[in-house]
Amino acid sequence: MARTQAADYDERKDAIVEAAAALFAARGFNGASVADIAERCESSKSLIYHYYQSKEDILYDVMISHVRALEQAAGEATAGAAAPAQKLRDLTQAFMALYVGAANRHKVLLNDLDKLPDARSGEIVAVQRGLIDKVGELLAAIEPALAKRKGARVPAAMLYFGMINWTHTWFDPKGSIGAAQLADMAVDMTLKGLSGAVK
Amino acid sequence: MARTQAADYDERKDAIVEAAAALFAARGFNGASVADIAERCESSKSLIYHYYQSKEDILYDVMISHVRALEQAAGEATAGAAAPAQKLRDLTQAFMALYVGAANRHKVLLNDLDKLPDARSGEIVAVQRGLIDKVGELLAAIEPALAKRKGARVPAAMLYFGMINWTHTWFDPKGSIGAAQLADMAVDMTLKGLSGAVK
DNA sequence: CCTACCGATCGGTAGG
DNA sequence: CCTACCGATCGGTAGG
């Protein structure tokens, strides 16, 4: 009988992605070497190349795994029969939880997407585009004026994403405000502005 | 008599910073080489090292020049006797104009700040901190509840900065919406939420 | 302001 | 003859 994959194949591969995410987040894709990743995994460079054909392939896995998780969370948050404002709140809570739980992958996605060749980055961008559209539809359902002014839908969605995506540069989950509180604050700011967000 | 600086010293130095900003923005600090900068300036690598002691020194100049421009714009926008909401609007217009006019420097600032050694990045961060405080004070003047809840002031300011800083990833000044319109939209979203921003 | 180089380290691959 | 891995080293290029 032919030998199969090692029993811990998936675990080893995931350990590589996790180590790479941490290093890419800290030093950037070009600032972290494959040797650094190997060292962090307590393995050899050759082992890394057994699991991945190239350094870029690792970067791709770091990003696609994160963006797929966001896609699934967005699907779950918008699936039910809740009001659009409640769906936006659920989606934002799920996103903030993923941003904090996968902070390294999130930072890499936002900083190093253009280090991927166009063909690979296109796949990531397509998933992101779907998330933007989903939020744009929620916002248009919440604010009828947005449904009429088609050209304003993407800018509105991007202002919203700016609030929550920018958190990776400053938010500390151990600080004075929690991730769930911050998510609510961003949603309230979107729905009612400052007075709604801090009251 | 000792030889003085070349008459075009400052122009040449600024050309280097401008070329470096374009290359760092496109490929990242670690992805662009000093030789690339020299080529773009139609000069040699040695000329670059005549004006700058290290690649990091160029990065520092790219960032500090941008952040000083933002600091001055913020000072001018908040100097008068206008109402705080109007000051926030003026400041946002000035910032968006600088973000678009110095798009390369802005992108480098947001992506590669951590490529600077701590001592140098600390100087940049201190200026940024001043901008955040300035916006936090405006927001607290606009919304009294924010003046009471001290811990919410920085998060509120950062949600605002998220909206306008995030634009560098998606905003195209040649698109369907202009920079001035977008700035107003971000201010209205901050003040009144979505319904105020798209009506 | 140029050509000619350096110590080191890069991503990726060889044989076993 | 397979998969899973190792120590050593490749040709090029980085900042200086």
Distance CA B61, CA B126 (A): 15
Residues A24-58 have pLDDT tens digits of 999 999 999 999 999 898 888 888 999 999 999 99
pLDDT score for B56: 92
CA distances from residue A160 to A154, A157, A185, A192, B30 in whole angstroms, order as listed: 10, 5, 11, 13, 31
Structural domain contains residue A169 = yes
**Which residues of chain B does A29 touch, with a Cβ-Cβ cutoff of 8 Å?**
28
Q: Is residue B29 in a domain?
A: no
A27 falls within a domain: no
Report the alpha-carbon distance of residue A82 to residue B23 in Å, rounded.
Answer: 47
Are B192 and A192 inside 8 Å of each other by CB? yes
Mean of pLDDT values over B180-189 = 96
* B chain contacts of residue A199, beta-carbon cutoff 8 Å: 145
- Would you call A36 an interface residue with chain B, using a CB distance cutoff of 8 Å? no
- Model pLDDT, residue A111: 94
Provide the pLDDT confidence category of residue B43 given band limits of 50, 70 and 90. Answer: confident
Residues 134-163 of A with CB under 8 A from B: 139, 142-143, 145-146, 149, 151-152, 154-156, 158-159, 161-163
Report the C-alpha gap between B160 and A160 in whole angstroms: 10
Measured distance CA(B110)–CA(B165) in Å, rounded: 8
pLDDT number for residue B42: 84
Closest alpha carbon within chain B to A193: B193
Q: What region does B193 belong to: left with phi over 0, alpha with psi -120 to 50, or beta? A: left
At residue B2 the predicted structure's pLDDT band, cuts being 50, 70 and 90, is very low
pLDDT above 50 for A61: yes
Asked whether the predicted pLDDT for residue B41 surpasses 60, the reply is yes
Q: Determine the structural domain holding residue A162 and report its residue range.
A: 61-198
Give the whole-angstrom CA distance, residue A115 versus residue B5. 40
Pair of tokens at residue B6:
């070349």
Q: Which percentage of chain B shows pLDDT scores above 70?
A: 95
Chain Cα centroid distance, residue A95 = 8
Q: Is the pLDDT of residue A165 over 60?
A: yes
How confident is the model at residue B81, as a pLDDT?
93
For the cut 70, the answer to whether the pLDDT of residue A110 exceeds it is yes
Residue B195 distance to chain A (closest CA, Å): 6
Residue B31 lies in a domain: no
- Does residue A119 surpass a pLDDT of 50? yes
Q: Which tens digit of pLDDT belongs to each residue from B87-132?
A: 999 999 999 999 999 999 999 999 999 999 888 899 999 999 999 9
- Is A40 contained in some domain? no
- Whether the per-residue pLDDT at A116 is higher than 50: the answer is yes
User: Which residue in A111, A115, A156 is closest to B194 by CB distance?
Assistant: A156
Average the pLDDT over B161-183 and give the result: 95
Task: Tell me, yes or no, whether B154 lies in a domain.
Answer: yes
Compare A76 and B120 and report the one with higher pLDDT. Answer: A76
Bigger pLDDT: A162 vs B34: A162
Nucleotide nearest to B33 (CA to C1'): D14
A-to-B residue pairs, Cβ atoms closer than 8 angstroms = 132
Question: CA B95, CA B90: separation in Å to the nearest integer?
Answer: 9
B129 part of contact set with chain A, CB < 8 Å? no
* Model pLDDT, residue A3: 41
Cα B70 versus chain centre, distance: 6
Q: How far is A146 from chain B (nearest CA, A)?
A: 6
Q: What is the pLDDT of residue A6?
A: 61
pLDDT value at position B1? 38
- Looking at residue A12, its pLDDT comes to 83
Residues contacting residue A123 through CB under 8 Å, at least 6 positions apart: A64
CATH number at residue A192: 1.10.357.10
pLDDT given for residue B7 in this prediction:
55
Q: How many CB atoms lie within 10 A of CB A111?
A: 19
Q: pLDDT-derived band of residue A22, with 50, 70 and 90 as boundaries?
A: very high
Please tell me the predicted confidence (pLDDT) of residue B47: 86
Nucleotides in chain C with any atom closer than 7 Å to protein CB: 1-4, 9-15
Inter-residue contact A32 to A20 (CB < 8 Å): yes
Question: Does the residue B33 lie in any domain?
Answer: no
Q: Please, what is the average pLDDT of chain A?
A: 92
Cβ <8 Å between A198 and B30: no
Q: Which of A111, A167, A176 sits opposite B111 (nearest CB)?
A: A111
Give the pLDDT of residue B179: 96
| Residue A160 forms part of a structural domain | yes
Residue B4 in this model has a pLDDT that exceeds 80: no
Given pLDDT bands bounded at 50, 70 and 90, which one contains residue A1?
very low
pLDDT the model gives residue B5? 55
Using a cut of 0.75, tell me whether the model's pTM lies above it: yes
Q: pLDDT at position B14, please?
A: 85
How many domains does chain B fold into? Answer: 1
Give the closest residue to C1 (Cα–C1′): B47
Average pLDDT, integer, range B65-94: 97
Lowest mean pLDDT, pick from A4-18, A62-76, B116-130? A4-18
- pLDDT category at B197 given cuts 50, 70, 90 is confident
- The pLDDT assigned to B181 comes to 95
Q: Which residue is nearest to nucleotide D13 (CA to C1')?
A: B33
* Amino acid A96 CA to nucleotide C14 C1' distance, rounded Å: 46
Q: Which residues of B touch A165 (CB under 8 A)?
A: 162, 166
Are B193 and A187 spatial neighbours (Cβ–Cβ below 8 Å)?
no
